[in-house]
Amino acid sequence: MADRFDVRRQTGFASMAMMCFFLLYLPIATLVVYAFNDNESLAIWKGFSLRWFHAAWNNSLVIESSIRSFQIAAVAAILATISATMAALATTRTKPYRGLTFKYAFINQPLMVPEIVTAVALLIVFSRIKIWTGYSGLGYLILAHTAFCVPFAYLPIRARLESMDLSLETAAADLYATKWKIFRHVTLPLLWPGILAGLMLAFVVSLDDVVITEFVKSGGQDTLPTFMLGQIRRGVTPEINAISTVFLALSIGIVTAFFFISRKRT
């Protein structure tokens, strides 16, 4: 029998893979290294220093926008994950029927439509609501981020549900367990790794969103990414590198923590 096709054995695969990793991680590595530069220039290395981390830590605008970013991301991720879990259950724990594929496409619509289109649509809708209600708080940003993050939470949860063995749920039903008890004691424990993965994805996507936030936010509601964008327009200093480095470290920490939690529960 002929050997099965393996892309890793193809000529030039290793070189191409290394080039992709090099192009992907070199800019990130450069950003991190120059976050510790003592010079105000981004291109000239003067010496090792933590001055820009201290500057960012003592910048009240950075602290304020960071807290706001985490508040919005946390609430939006939880709401998106709850919505995605219900949608995943409704579209997987049912017999196939006409229109089910359309529902898949509708739920994943924010992934297929350019983000700028979603941002403009939300801007138009929320601007009318602001006029009618007079409310201009963070609720609009939370709703916008929730809507955009639902498909990111939905995909891993649905994938987890589709890979689960239905025999345990069927056995629980045969033992006269109610649907709520089946969900609570059988489905939910098995589904938990997918829920954690969806929550993580939704949180990270919300945390670093710029386009939708820039269109929806009101005055004084800058998140950390939009604050950094505004600072870059005024002039770039290694303080931006320092903020980005901390942002990167937090993202890696969150992903790592969820990975180990999910692995323990698998």
Q: pLDDT for 161-209, tens place per residue?
A: 888 877 777 788 777 787 788 888 888 888 888 888 889 889 988 988 8
Give the burial string for 198-235 (b: 16+ CB within 10 Å, else e). Answer: bbbbbbbbbbebebbbbbbbeeebbbbbbbbeebeeee
> What is the C-alpha separation between 164 and 214, in angstroms, rounded?
40
Q: Is the pLDDT of residue 99 over 80?
A: no
Name 37's bridge partners: 48
Mean pLDDT score of the chain: 83
Q: What is the largest CA-CA distance in the chain?
A: 72
Q: Which residues contact 70 (CB under 8 A, 6 or more apart)?
A: 207
> What is the C-alpha separation between 183 and 256, in angstroms, rounded?
28
Fold classification of 45-265 is MetI-like fold (1.10.3720)
Asked if 240 and 225 touch (Cβ cutoff 8 Å), the reply is no
Which one-letter amino acid corresponds to residue 232? I
pTM of the predicted protein model: 0.81
- Please state the rounded mean pLDDT for residues 16-41: 85
* pLDDT-based confidence at residue 77 (cuts at 50, 70, 90): very high
Weakest-pLDDT range from 116-130, 164-178, 216-230: 164-178
- Please state the rounded mean pLDDT for residues 123-133: 89
- Please state the rounded mean pLDDT for residues 75-103: 86
